[in-house]
Amino acid sequence: MGAAKHDVFQALADPTRREVVRLLAQHELPISDIAARFPISRTAIVKHLHILSEAQLVNGRKVGREKRYRLQPEPLLELQQWLAYFDQFWSNKLSMLKHLVEREEE
Protein backbone atom coordinates (compact mmCIF):
# COMPACT_ATOMS: atom_id res chain seq x y z
CA MET A 1 0.00 0.00 0.00
CA GLY A 2 1.42 3.42 -0.98
CA ALA A 3 1.69 6.51 1.15
CA ALA A 4 -1.50 8.40 1.86
CA LYS A 5 -2.07 11.49 -0.28
CA HIS A 6 -3.26 13.40 2.78
CA ASP A 7 -1.83 12.95 6.23
CA VAL A 8 -3.76 13.12 9.49
CA PHE A 9 -2.70 16.71 10.15
CA GLN A 10 -3.86 17.94 6.73
CA ALA A 11 -7.10 16.02 6.98
CA LEU A 12 -7.94 17.41 10.41
CA ALA A 13 -6.93 20.97 9.56
CA ASP A 14 -10.43 21.60 8.21
CA PRO A 15 -13.19 22.22 10.81
CA THR A 16 -15.82 20.40 8.71
CA ARG A 17 -13.66 17.30 8.54
CA ARG A 18 -13.02 17.46 12.29
CA GLU A 19 -16.78 17.54 12.85
CA VAL A 20 -17.28 14.60 10.44
CA VAL A 21 -14.69 12.63 12.43
CA ARG A 22 -16.52 13.52 15.65
CA LEU A 23 -19.83 12.31 14.16
CA LEU A 24 -18.31 9.06 12.97
CA ALA A 25 -16.74 8.43 16.36
CA GLN A 26 -20.28 7.85 17.64
CA HIS A 27 -21.42 5.37 14.97
CA GLU A 28 -21.24 4.39 11.32
CA LEU A 29 -23.30 6.70 9.07
CA PRO A 30 -24.34 6.81 5.42
CA ILE A 31 -23.29 9.80 3.32
CA SER A 32 -26.87 11.13 3.29
CA ASP A 33 -27.00 11.31 7.10
CA ILE A 34 -23.60 13.00 7.27
CA ALA A 35 -24.52 15.54 4.58
CA ALA A 36 -27.84 16.33 6.30
CA ARG A 37 -25.91 17.70 9.31
CA PHE A 38 -23.94 20.31 7.36
CA PRO A 39 -24.93 23.46 5.46
CA ILE A 40 -22.88 22.36 2.44
CA SER A 41 -23.63 20.18 -0.56
CA ARG A 42 -23.50 16.41 -0.56
CA THR A 43 -20.73 16.70 -3.17
CA ALA A 44 -18.65 18.78 -0.75
CA ILE A 45 -19.18 16.17 1.99
CA VAL A 46 -18.09 13.41 -0.40
CA LYS A 47 -14.89 15.38 -1.10
CA HIS A 48 -14.26 15.75 2.64
CA LEU A 49 -14.86 12.02 3.14
CA HIS A 50 -12.42 11.29 0.31
CA ILE A 51 -9.68 13.32 2.05
CA LEU A 52 -10.42 11.61 5.36
CA SER A 53 -10.27 8.24 3.58
CA GLU A 54 -6.92 9.09 2.00
CA ALA A 55 -5.61 9.92 5.48
CA GLN A 56 -7.04 6.53 6.58
CA LEU A 57 -9.17 8.24 9.25
CA VAL A 58 -12.44 6.86 7.88
CA ASN A 59 -13.43 3.73 6.05
CA GLY A 60 -16.35 3.48 3.64
CA ARG A 61 -18.26 0.35 2.71
CA LYS A 62 -21.22 -0.34 0.47
CA VAL A 63 -24.40 -1.48 2.19
CA GLY A 64 -27.05 -2.06 -0.43
CA ARG A 65 -27.31 1.13 -2.47
CA GLU A 66 -25.65 3.41 0.07
CA LYS A 67 -22.09 3.94 1.21
CA ARG A 68 -21.59 3.99 4.97
CA TYR A 69 -18.58 5.47 6.73
CA ARG A 70 -17.01 4.78 10.08
CA LEU A 71 -14.06 6.13 12.01
CA GLN A 72 -10.69 4.41 11.80
CA PRO A 73 -9.11 5.82 14.99
CA GLU A 74 -5.62 4.32 14.62
CA PRO A 75 -4.14 7.28 12.68
CA LEU A 76 -5.20 9.58 15.54
CA LEU A 77 -2.42 7.96 17.58
CA GLU A 78 0.12 9.88 15.45
CA LEU A 79 -1.63 13.12 16.38
CA GLN A 80 -1.80 12.16 20.05
CA GLN A 81 1.90 11.31 20.12
CA TRP A 82 2.80 14.62 18.49
CA LEU A 83 0.68 16.59 20.98
CA ALA A 84 2.05 14.58 23.93
CA TYR A 85 5.47 16.11 23.33
CA PHE A 86 4.01 19.52 24.22
CA ASP A 87 2.54 18.29 27.51
CA GLN A 88 5.88 19.05 29.16
CA PHE A 89 5.42 22.75 28.45
CA TRP A 90 1.95 22.78 30.03
CA SER A 91 3.23 20.83 33.02
CA ASN A 92 6.10 23.29 33.53
CA LYS A 93 3.79 26.31 33.29
CA LEU A 94 1.27 24.79 35.70
CA SER A 95 4.03 23.92 38.17
CA MET A 96 5.36 27.47 38.03
CA LEU A 97 1.86 28.89 38.53
CA LYS A 98 1.24 26.58 41.50
CA HIS A 99 4.53 27.66 43.03
CA LEU A 100 3.68 31.37 42.58
CA VAL A 101 0.18 30.99 44.02
CA GLU A 102 1.42 29.04 47.03
CA ARG A 103 4.17 31.62 47.64
CA GLU A 104 1.63 34.48 47.60
CA GLU A 105 -0.56 32.65 50.11
CA GLU A 106 2.26 32.53 52.68
- Same domain for 28 and 68, yes or no, is yes
- Same domain for 14 and 28, yes or no, is yes
Phi, psi of 14 (to 5 degrees): -90, 130
| Angstrom distance (rounded) from CA 97 to CA 31 | 47
Query: Based on the structure, what is the number of domains in the chain?
Result: 2
**With 0-12 CB in 10 A as exposed, 13-18 as middle and 19+ as buried, what is 2?**
exposed
Domain that holds residue 44: 1-74
pLDDT at 101: 82
pTM tops 0.85: no
Q: How far is CA 20 from CA 43, 46, 60, in A?
A: 14, 11, 13
In tens digits, what is the pLDDT along the chain, a chain of 106 residues? 445 577 899 999 999 999 999 999 999 999 999 999 999 999 999 999 999 999 999 999 999 999 999 999 999 988 888 888 887 777 777 777 777 788 777 6
Q: How far apart are the first and last CA of the chain?
A: 62
- Same domain for 1 and 22, yes or no, is yes
- CATH number, domain with residue 64: 1.10.10.10
- Same domain for 49 and 1, yes or no, is yes
